[in-house]
């Protein structure tokens, strides 16, 4: 099995990720040599800081895949996007479907937390995405100020109960996003609330790959088997099977998802932190 990275700013010249194709290819080659052979490309969408045209993402992804193939780099890409925290109300179901992954009935999108902290508006935005028929992978919750100390995790509880899962950043676990993010990332991994780890790589400025997170995850208290779930089995499950609704029967090999949902159920109303 190989590593699968579901949060990556690899598309060149579109946001704050790879500035050009040469930088994207150099990063992709490092990913492949680190055993990352499948990834979604997730430019910021709905952000006031980047003018990303959603309708162009598939063609841009196909262009980059052709460049990877020409360079003989063993990395398969899927088009995606990272939904800006305040953009949920602006994105139609058609927009969301362009950047969604998984089979019909279990499609999901990646939604970015507000760095200033999880607020009620973000929770409402997640509910709006869910109401349009999409599951949600919540990107780097540990980077939201006050996740463990100011009720941020409690405000995510309704989304988690409705089937959303959490994606922790490799760079947070590695301590590159500051001590609060690292502490929260470690707690999310240890408590099994984290369902996947992704790189959130920004070639040119944040050049780490998903593989570099694994020793940090072990240091956080994860077992070797859990690390395989977080970087290989669970992200692969999301691409193949999507994110089934909480009331839908789970397919075989959904052990990681069951554990994440069990951990979310153990969050009590008003919880400020998490176990572990």
Token pair for residue 95? 């927009």
Token pair for residue 97? 């479907």
Of residues 74-93, those binding Fe ion (CB under 5 A): 82
Residue with smaller CB distance to Fe ion, 182 or 226? 182
Nearest distance, CB of residue 111 and Fe ion, angstroms: 11
Nearest distance, CB of residue 265 and Fe ion, angstroms: 28
Residue with smaller CB distance to Fe ion, 101 or 261? 101
Per DSSP, the residues of 199-260 read --BBTTTB---GGGGHHHHHHTT--HHHHHIIIIIHHHHHHHH----TTSPPPTT-HHHHHH
Site map for Fe ion, 93-132, x if CB under 5 A? Answer: ----------------------------------------
| Burial grade of 3 (CB within 10 A; 0-12, 13-18, 19 or more) | buried
Residue with smaller CB distance to Fe ion, 198 or 274? 198
Residue with smaller CB distance to Fe ion, 82 or 95? 82
Nearest distance, CB of residue 225 and Fe ion, angstroms: 27
5 binds Fe ion (CB under 5 A): no
What are the residues whose beta carbons fall under 8 Å from the beta carbon of 126, sequence distance 6 or more?
88, 111, 136, 138, 159, 164
Residue with the shortest CB distance to Fe ion = 200
Residues in the chain: 276
Of residues 150-209, those binding Fe ion (CB under 5 A): 200
- Total residues in contact with Fe ion, by rule CB under 5 A: 2
Of residues 34-73, those binding Fe ion (CB under 5 A): none
What are the residues whose beta carbons fall under 8 Å from the beta carbon of 275, sequence distance 6 or more?
191, 263, 266
Instruction: Decide if 24 contacts 70 (C-beta within 8 A).
Output: no
Nearest distance, CB of residue 115 and Fe ion, angstroms: 11
Instruction: Give the C-alpha separation, 57 to 45, whole Å.
Output: 10
Residue with smaller CB distance to Fe ion, 177 or 229? 177
Nearest distance, CB of residue 146 and Fe ion, angstroms: 20
Residue with smaller CB distance to Fe ion, 200 or 214? 200
Nearest distance, CB of residue 99 and Fe ion, angstroms: 13
Token pair for residue 64? 């980059």
| Burial grade of 101 (CB within 10 A; 0-12, 13-18, 19 or more) | buried
Q: Which residues bind Fe ion (CB under 5 A)?
A: 82, 200
């Amino acid at each position: 099995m190989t590593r699968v990275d579901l949060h990556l700013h690899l598309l060149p010249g579109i946001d704050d990720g790879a500035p050009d194709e040469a930088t994207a290819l150099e990063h992709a080659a490092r990913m492949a040599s680190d055993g990352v052979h499948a990834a979604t490309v997730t430019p910021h969408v709905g952000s006031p800081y980047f003018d990303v045209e959603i309708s162009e993402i598939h063609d841009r992804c196909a262009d980059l895949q052709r460049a990877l193939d020409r360079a003989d780099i063993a990395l398969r890409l899927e088009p995606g996007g990272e939904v800006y925290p305040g953009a949920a109300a602006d994105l139609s179901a058609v927009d969301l479907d362009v950047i969604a992954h998984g089979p019909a009935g279990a499609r999901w999108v990646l939604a970015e937390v507000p760095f200033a902290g999880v607020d009620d508006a973000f929770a409402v935005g997640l509910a709006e995405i869910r109401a349009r028929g999409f599951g949600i992978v919540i990107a780097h919750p540990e980077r939201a100020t006050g996740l463990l100390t100011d009720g941020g995790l409690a405000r995510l509880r309704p989304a988690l109960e409705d089937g959303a899962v959490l994606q922790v950043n490799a760079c947070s676990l590695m301590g590159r996003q500051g001590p609060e993010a690292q502490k929260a990332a470690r707690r999310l991994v240890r408590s099994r609330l984290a369902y996947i780890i992704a790189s959130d790589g920004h070639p040119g400025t944040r050049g780490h790959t998903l593989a570099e997170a694994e020793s940090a995850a072990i240091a956080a208290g994860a077992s070797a088997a859990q690390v395989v779930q977080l970087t290989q089995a669970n992200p692969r499950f999301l691409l193949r099977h999507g994110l089934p609704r909480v009331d839908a029967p789970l397919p075989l090999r959904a052990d990681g998802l069951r554990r994440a949902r069990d951990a979310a159920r153990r969050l009590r109303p008003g919880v400020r932190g998490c176990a572990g």
